[in-house]
């Protein structure tokens, strides 16, 4: 219902305030200087961090190819309810530092929340290195440190087919960082 008193509704004039205001460039310089002073930042390196250019170019080209492949086909009819898949992320370079990691995580998050023509991402998590194995030995439950593998995270996606899930995986930024994505269909329960 809309029978709010005025105090229950936002002041319309507040909507005129800009969502973003660019700070003076001097603030960035000052901030960087302060971070360096505290040894929280190291000077900009000459060598590019992250994926090799040819790898990124190849990923973009492959994605464009897939996009063309999909868009050139007939319009897909609505597909309710779609099977679910797990995209298991293996390997890949890790961010050199926490900032690079933050940038990377934002990129993954943007990809996950973007609209894709061949499916949608419904969840996902990054995994830490440490792992434990829990086993039952007769009546005892034992827990031991597991051998680390290179599973670094996963996404849960809904896609109409195995191929569509693979197309979705092909766009995952993890490939750009040298990782690989294994697509597994989730068994209906």
Partner 1 sequence: MLKSRDERSFRALYARHSPALYALALRLLADRTHDADDVLQECWIRAVARLRDFGWQSQLRTWLAAILVNCCRELWRDSREELDGDLADVRAPNEDVGVRIDVTTALARLPAGYRAVLVLHDVAGFTHEEIAQQLDIETGTSKSQLSRARRAMRGLLGSANVGA
Q: Where in 90-109 is the site for partner 1 (CB under 8 A)?
A: 95-103, 105-106, 109
Q: Where in 149-178 is the site for partner 1 (CB under 8 A)?
A: none
The CB-of-90 to partner 1 minimum distance in angstroms stands at: 19
> Residues in contact with partner 1, total (CB under 8 A)?
45
The CB-of-138 to partner 1 minimum distance in angstroms stands at: 38
Q: What is the DSSP letter of 116?
A: B
**Nearest Cα to 113, choosing from 93, 44, 105?**
105
Select from 2, 3, 13, 135 the one that contacts partner 1 (CB under 8 A).
13
User: Could you tell me how far CA 170 lies from the centroid of its own chain?
Assistant: 13
Please compute, for residue 46, the number of CA atoms within 13 A of its CA located in the half-sphere on the CB side: 0
Q: Which helix (H) or strand (E) holds 57?
A: helix 53-72
Q: Which two tokens stand for residue 122?
A: 């419904």
The CB-of-9 to partner 1 minimum distance in angstroms stands at: 7
Q: Where in 55-94 is the site for partner 1 (CB under 8 A)?
A: none
**Nearest Cα to 173, choosing from 47, 82, 51?**
51
Under a CB-based contact definition with an 8 Å cutoff, are residues 153 and 127 in contact? yes
For partner 1, the closer of residues 15 and 80 by Cβ is: 15
Select from 1, 2, 3, 10 the one that contacts partner 1 (CB under 8 A).
10
CA–CA dist 86, 187 (Å, integer): 10
Q: Where in 107-126 is the site for partner 1 (CB under 8 A)?
A: 109, 126
Residues that bind partner 1 (CB under 8 A): 6-11, 13-14, 16-24, 27-28, 30-32, 34-35, 38, 40-45, 49, 95-103, 105-106, 109, 126
């Amino acid at each position: 219902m809309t029978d709010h008193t005025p105090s229950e509704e936002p002041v319309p004039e507040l909507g005129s305030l800009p969502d973003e205001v660019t700070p003076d460039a001097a603030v960035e310089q000052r901030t960087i200087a302060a971070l360096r002073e505290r040894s929280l930042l190291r000077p900009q390196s000459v060598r590019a961090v992250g994926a090799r250019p040819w790898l990124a170019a190849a990923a973009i080209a492959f994605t464009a190819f897939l996009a063309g492949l999909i868009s050139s086909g007939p319009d897909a009819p609505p597909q309710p309810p779609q099977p679910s898949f797990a995209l298991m992320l293996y390997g890949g370079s890790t961010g050199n530092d926490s900032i690079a990691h933050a940038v990377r995580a934002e990129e993954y998050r943007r990809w996950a929340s973007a609209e894709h023509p061949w499916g949608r991402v419904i969840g996902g998590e990054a995994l830490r290195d440490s792992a434990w194995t829990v086993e039952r030995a007769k009546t005892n439950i034992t827990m031991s440190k597991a051998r680390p593998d290179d599973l670094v995270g996963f996404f849960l996606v809904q896609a109409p087919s195995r191929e569509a899930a693979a197309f979705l995986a092909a766009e995952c930024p993890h490939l750009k960082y040298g990782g690989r994505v294994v697509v597994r269909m989730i068994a209906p329960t």
